[in-house]
Amino acid sequence: MTIKLLINASYFIVAILFIQGLKGMSSPVTARRGIMWAGAGMVLATLVTFGWPGMSNYTLMVIALGLGGGLSAWSGTVVKMTDMPQMVALYNGMGGGAAASIAAIELARGETHGTVATSLAVLGGLIGTVSFSGSLVAFAKLQGIMKKTFHLPAQNAVNVVLAAVAVIAGAGIVAAGPATTLQLVVFFLVALALGAIITLPIGGADMPVVISLFNALTGLAVGFEGLVLNNPALIIAGIVVGSAGTLLTQLMAKAMNRPLTNILFKPITGEAQVGGTGIAGTMKEISALDAAAMLRYAQKVIIVPGYGMAVGQAQHKVKEMSVLLEEAGITVKFAIHPVAGRMPGHMNVLLAEAGVPYDRIFDLEEINGEFSQADVALVIGANDVVNPAARTEKSSPIYGMPILNADQAHNVIVVKRGKGTGYSGIENALFYNDNTRMLYGSAQQVVNEVIKNIKELMA
């Protein structure tokens, strides 16, 4: 009894560490500290679990921790910042898969038959499996292993049918008695298919929201399995992750002005879309020298980073350029859209890595009113988040989504790798505006050329 009390007291400390860590991660200034707090909580929860009464298989536990910890430490060290979104999706999927595995083992044992725990195990297994397969599809799409979109005929009908079959199979496990092998195989295979098929059509600006949604589902599944095992650490971790992920998903969906149902059932697919009326005008190219001159003699510049900056690994060059402009007396600010990049906070992470001061980085609500006062809006690899069609083109998939008002700047320079529509597949009306000039090439190479020309102009 004393040991169990000590373990539960330790789990209470773990809860405090998790909550403190989550609070720290809410701000870039304290994010590193928050990660350390949460990490300390996870280490404590893992170590304390070794002392749980009746625990066995210590050798397998140590081997599993060594393999998992070693692999994650290595991958976390070598991963490129451009690959961070897919790593987040992959790790999130592993959490869902772990919860589903716990459910499968408990249901196969049959010891919880006829109890609430059976229902919780089924719910956790369903949600965890959907998160697992959906996150793996998201990883494959972001990594370029899978085509950006794959839309089944009657996609939504297939989703509904699979969900109904999964629920019926789960209800059968709860009601009919100890689960048979066939029941478990059917249940988990249908859940795997559901998660994958829901995610296959999703691309573009919807992907960060979907990753956040799967994060919330993983937390929910872990919480359910914690109740099944009567393990406070799993319950606490699941509640914290699930609630935080749910809140973040809601905030991001609101930022896009797209209900979650639209994101799942009417996704931005990534297929080329121009809009119902087409776009008038032509894209006008600019040289690095002319772009440098436009920036050098501006009074206010707003930089809008997007995934193209991440792909080109240009964040350090962008920071160098901003410092040069500030030394010339030019006001420089960074504008971040909530869904810029491929995961929540992607651009903030890149800019923080490059050392851009936090007080230069502004969210959409803070910066949007200043674009009309900016001499130059420099858009680096962003598409949907600056597309004016979101305001005017009702046939566009992003119609109604709040955007950064880059088009309202006196001049707009867009750094873009080519003339294609990009990841989302939606043509951008901004690129055809009279005040917009296109600067083609890899972001790092292009910004480096601009920096050289700015230095010559300042000499």
Does residue 206 carry a catalytic annotation? no
The identity of residue 37, as a single letter, is W
In angstroms, the CA 271 to CA 274 distance is 10
Of 206, 384, 407, 434, which one is the catalytic site residue? 384
Q: What is d(CA 357, CA 377) in angstroms, rounded to the nearest whole number?
A: 19
Give the number of other CB atoms < 10 A from CB of residue 155.
Answer: 18
CA distances from 300 to 291, 303, 330, 432 (A): 14, 10, 6, 23
H or E segment and range at residue 93? helix 84-109
> Strand locations in 254-388, DSSP E?
300-305, 331-336, 361-363, 376-380
Locate tokens 């697992």: which residue?
Answer: 132
DSSP 37-83: HHHHHHHHHHHHHTTSTT---HHHHHHHHHHHHHHHHHHHHH--GGG
- Cα–Cα separations (whole angstroms), residue 113 to 233, 235, 247: 24, 21, 34
As a whole number of angstroms, the longest Cα–Cα distance in the chain is 82
Q: Which residues contact 319 (CB under 8 A, 6 or more apart)?
A: 351, 354, 355, 356
The contacts of residue 121 (CB under 8 Å, 6+ apart) are 102, 103, 106, 107, 112, 224, 225, 228
The encoded tokens of residue 222 equal 């872990």
Sheet containing 436-440: order of strands: 361-363, 331-336, 300-305, 376-380, 411-416, 436-440
Query: Is beta strand 436-440 parallel, antiparallel or unpaired with respect to 300-305?
Result: unpaired
Catalytic annotation, residues: 384
